[in-house]
Amino acid sequence: MLPELVTAIPGPKSLALAEKLRKYESHNVTYVADDWPVFWERAEGTNVWDADGNRFIDLTSAFGVAGLGHTHAPLRDAMCDQAQRLIHAMGDVHPTELKIEVCQLLSELSFERWGLGVAKSVLSNSGSEAVETALKTAYIATQKAGVVCFRNGYHGLGYGALLGGGFDKFRKPFEAQLAEIRYELDFPRGEEDLAQLKEDLAQLDPKKIGALLVEPIQGRGGKVVPAEGFLTVLRDWCDENEVVLIFDEIYSGFNRTGKLFACEWQGIYPDLLCVGKAMSGGYPISACVGKASVMDRWPVSPGEALHTSTYLGNPVGCAMAVEAMKIHRDPSLAADVDKQGEELMIMLREIESPYIYEVRGRGMMIGVELRHADGSPAGDVSGRILSQMLAEGIIMLADGPEGNILAFTPPFHLKLGEMIFVVNTLKRLLAE
């Protein structure tokens, strides 16, 4: 029998940790307030325990990583097993067999499954690095520097990834150090937006553009499902203009949306695919996976790779990724996530609140957009809700540039009782 959800936060140990954190970590990193953060000590499935022993339901999968559940036994065992034998190798010099297995699985799960032949990969550690590999690949393949990207797109915060970032708040402070080679378009939600997008694309000079970077469903931008036909428009424009089409599925990949990859909802495939987060379910590993015809534009390594990093193909990360991908390739998982998401969305749509403007998403990637009566984004209300939910034992985050979209991206197997508890709590707090 599990203990009750939270008793009191912050508890005494958490208060002491907050004090220490303030002393030693840059104050830009962790937001610290009277009732925030909780200090995670252990987690299992959909539950997290903090340093004071409080139990929480996690609606974030810790940034979309733990779709299979926290400390999922097969992944934990793969990690522990591998750590007994080899923790680190020389990824781009003297690698492990595991690295090959990861690259093969990535190919089989994506481009080979889509009937597009064997794909080749470059592994890396974070999502942002996978995006940067893709942008470099596009430049190498086309010799054209321009990047088309989308408003409210999120691709990570490294300088290269920021080039394609559509959040002003993250990009503007560093704009002076970013090349002026980006073309930002609106992410189309409906048919009218799609018509506008076609016009906007027609205005661009494709001779300057080598890459188009897009999330097939926007994650941090607010769980935005694009208009039907969107990816076809992009695919056609890229084909006509020799532009490399990059799908960033770092958030949406590996069954999060109820398909193995979110692009499968529209049946359109990229030249390059970026994955990370759930690829290992909890170890920093990511990849840029691409059609061989594009990836083979990189020069053959003469003994020194043009693009690599110390931890590329780390064996512990690879062991976990192999295990995770073998689980993800079972098609019944996608069907389960789709069904779970439908159920959760139905329950969320039944909440009657003047603040709820829209409930949207796919699979277990759901957003509840809050607005005030005058239509303005209700970021203040969602901020209050996040704190109150935490005090009730529910960990959640908000998305969108105004922070007014409550995000539901829990581990896939959230139990029905947990869903009911979450929805009822939200309903009560919205009414306050």
Where on the chain is the footprint of ligand PLP (CB under 6 A)?
A: 63, 126-128, 131, 154-156, 215, 219-220, 248, 250-251, 276
| Residue with the shortest CB distance to ligand PLP | 127
Shortest Å distance, C-beta 25 to ligand PLP: 17
Residue among 224 and 381 whose Cβ is closer to ligand PLP: 224
Separation CA 369–CA 340 (nearest Å): 20
Residue among 50 and 248 whose Cβ is closer to ligand PLP: 248
Token pair, residue 124, equals 């890396």
Shortest Å distance, C-beta 107 to ligand PLP: 21
Token pair, residue 65, equals 């990583």
Shortest Å distance, C-beta 427 to ligand PLP: 28
Residue among 223 and 371 whose Cβ is closer to ligand PLP: 223
Residue among 39 and 154 whose Cβ is closer to ligand PLP: 154
Residue among 150 and 355 whose Cβ is closer to ligand PLP: 150
Shortest Å distance, C-beta 372 to ligand PLP: 27
Residue among 18 and 75 whose Cβ is closer to ligand PLP: 75
Shortest Å distance, C-beta 63 to ligand PLP: 6
Residue among 126 and 266 whose Cβ is closer to ligand PLP: 126
User: Measuring CA to CA, which residue among 233, 273, 246 is closest to residue 142?
Assistant: 246
Shortest Å distance, C-beta 161 to ligand PLP: 7
Single-letter amino acid code for the residue at 354: P
Shortest Å distance, C-beta 359 to ligand PLP: 20
